[in-house]
Structure 1
Amino acid sequence: MAQLWTAKRVVISPDAPTLADAVASRLLSRLAKRSAAGKTSHLALAGGAIGTAVLRAAGDHASGHDIDWSLVHFWWGDEVFAPRADAGRHEQAARAALIDRIDVPARNVHAIAGADEATDQDAAAAAYAAELARFGEDDRPWPDFYVCFLGVGSDGHISSLFPDRSAIQVTDRSVVAVREAPKPPAERITLTRPVINSARCVWLVVSGSDKAAALGLALAGASYETVPAAGAKGRKRTLFFVDEAAAVGVPPELIDQDF
């Protein structure tokens, strides 16, 4: 167990707004350093309230950082299968919060096809897999993600990988369609676990007392099939950015405020 704990660290903020601002500041400073070095950064974004709050905070502070946005690519960890203009899509929230507020080339924004563009969910998943593969290699048909952002549901789900559902077990595809999801909307598209875990850094952003139990199970090494968040880990770093309400019961040895 201790060996697992060394791979997962927790950074705690007092509340949700402070949490979002702290994560956004860390992201922007790292993107500035990478772009100054001429490095391309692929980001997988998360939906949900806290994921959008992070992007909004980044949008508020982006002008204070010297970032070459032509070197940054935006992707989504999952998406609602609805028309592209639907306000419930993660893409629309991310555009309003950050993407439409920065000078990023349109070709760097890789949205998942909407219900008004693809014939069905499987076609949308296949199209997204093909887009990912354009930036991958033969043995890894998807980009080398610098950061994969994840929210965590009160049931421990990440992206649209829900507990005890078939999608969490898929390892031979990069993208799958999710039908009859236990959390509405029921129809979704999601990246699979191998893609998430191939990211250099996985940043899980968790807010609220209703997430405390799921956070505890994820940190304690529960089965990824029953608590998907427990199976999320980056190649280099796996960080849980949480607020105090979610951090109840986090063992002191896991806390890393110096990161």
Structure 2
Amino acid sequence: MSEKRRVLVYDDRASLIAGIADRFVGVMTEVLAARDEASIVLTGGTVGIAVLAALGSPERVSLVDWERVHLWWGDERWLPAGDAERNDEQAREAFLDRIGCPPANIHRFPSSDGPLDLDAAARAYSDELARASGDGERHPAFDLVFLGVGPDAHIASLFPGREEIREREATVIPVRNSPKPPPERLSLTLPVINSADRVWLCLSGTDKATALGLALAGANVSEVPAAGAEGRLRTVFLVDSTAAADVPQDLLTDGGVA
């Protein structure tokens, strides 16, 4: 396994969630000490939202100057604004309402009840990424991309065996006929994900063990999208002990002490 890749194992789901939240604080503190602003990409999912809720706890919120942080999403479900199944709505309840981040710094994907169709929505978010780059690039320099991983090893809305995982030109793509409901979605592409300094992948539960093993073994990216996630500086798989059950011990590091 590349030296840039690490696997950090926590005893259980609760310690995983708390550990990731603490690591978020550490990275944000480091980045904001060096630069005026930070840009991070958030994920949804059960564990992802639980991490955001932990990150939004009073004892952690006060440690980060959230007014200097820009928040993006790796993907979004094509649903009306405020729908409880949207990643940004779940993040709002768990996290956004608690941190005092300026609305202009919260970059939500368009919603299905807006004026744009799915294709135009993908172009609009792509344009928003480009405007935020500030230097003529196609997207900001992300400090951190935080991803969940599905039992099928999908990341964002890039699913196995589909054309979206092979997209190399666009920064944002529409997804139709998704194997996971809802059928229509919007997603960042793999090159954008991999442009980040740090990519973190979070896995919890026995149903994620196979996905983790295949990703670490360097499986074909088209069939195992998580295998293709790689940050410029560091890629970290943050997992609980049940997800790591099938991984050789020499690849693992205790998340509680690393």
TM bin (shorter chain)? over 0.9
Q: Quick check: 1:206–1:242 contact (8 Å CA) kept in 2? A: yes
- Distance in 2 between residues matched to 1:22 and 1:134, nearest whole Å: 33
Structure 2 residues not aligned, in runs of 5+: none
* Corresponding position: 1:89 with 2:61: no
Q: 2:196 aligns with which of 199, 204, 208?
A: 199
- Distance in 2 between residues matched to 1:119 and 1:110, nearest whole Å: 16
SS in structure 1 opposite 2:187? Answer: strand
- Compared with structure 1, are the counterparts of its residues 223 and 183 closer, same or farther at alpha carbon in structure 2 (3 Å cutoff)? same
Residue in 1 aligned with 2:166? 169
- Distance in 2 between residues matched to 1:135 and 1:62, nearest whole Å: 30
Deviation at 1:64, TM superposition (A): 5.8
Q: 2:214 aligns with which of 212, 217, 239?
A: 217
| Equivalent residue runs for 1:1-259 within 5 Å | 4-63=1-60, 65-136=62-133, 140-257=137-254, 258-259=257-258
- Compared with structure 1, are the counterparts of its residues 223 and 63 closer, same or farther at alpha carbon in structure 2 (3 Å cutoff)? closer
Between the two proteins, the alignment pairs up a number of residues equal to 256
- Compared with structure 1, are the counterparts of its residues 102 and 62 closer, same or farther at alpha carbon in structure 2 (3 Å cutoff)? farther
- Distance in 1 between residues matched to 2:53 and 2:20, nearest whole Å: 11
Return the letter of the residue paired with 1:92: E
TM-score (norm 2): 0.95
Structure 1 residues not aligned, in runs of 5+: none
- Say which is worse superposed, 20-29 or 31-40, in terms of deviation: 31-40
- Distance in 2 between residues matched to 1:201 and 1:32, nearest whole Å: 14
- Compared with structure 1, are the counterparts of its residues 63 and 202 closer, same or farther at alpha carbon in structure 2 (3 Å cutoff)? closer
- Distance in 1 between residues matched to 2:153 and 2:61, nearest whole Å: 35
TM-score (norm 1): 0.94
1:217-237 Cα distance to aligned partner (Å, 9 max, x none): 000000110000000000000
1:32-71 Cα distance to aligned partner (Å, 9 max, x none): 2332444411110011001101101101145564322121
- Say which is worse superposed, 25-34 or 15-24, in terms of deviation: 25-34
Return the letter of the residue paired with 2:52: L
Report percent identity of matched pairs: 47
Deviation at 1:244, TM superposition (A): 0.6
SS in structure 2 opposite 1:43? Answer: strand
Return the letter of the residue paired with 1:116: D
- Distance in 2 between residues matched to 1:171 and 1:68, nearest whole Å: 34
SS in structure 1 opposite 2:151? Answer: coil
- Distance in 1 between residues matched to 2:226 and 2:134, nearest whole Å: 27
Return the letter of the residue paired with 2:39: H
- Distance in 1 between residues matched to 2:91 and 2:74, nearest whole Å: 12
- Compared with structure 1, are the counterparts of its residues 138 and 163 closer, same or farther at alpha carbon in structure 2 (3 Å cutoff)? farther
- Compared with structure 1, are the counterparts of its residues 235 and 38 closer, same or farther at alpha carbon in structure 2 (3 Å cutoff)? closer
Q: Quick check: 1:8–1:254 contact (8 Å CA) kept in 2? A: no
Q: Over aligned residues, Cα RMSD in angstroms? A: 1.5
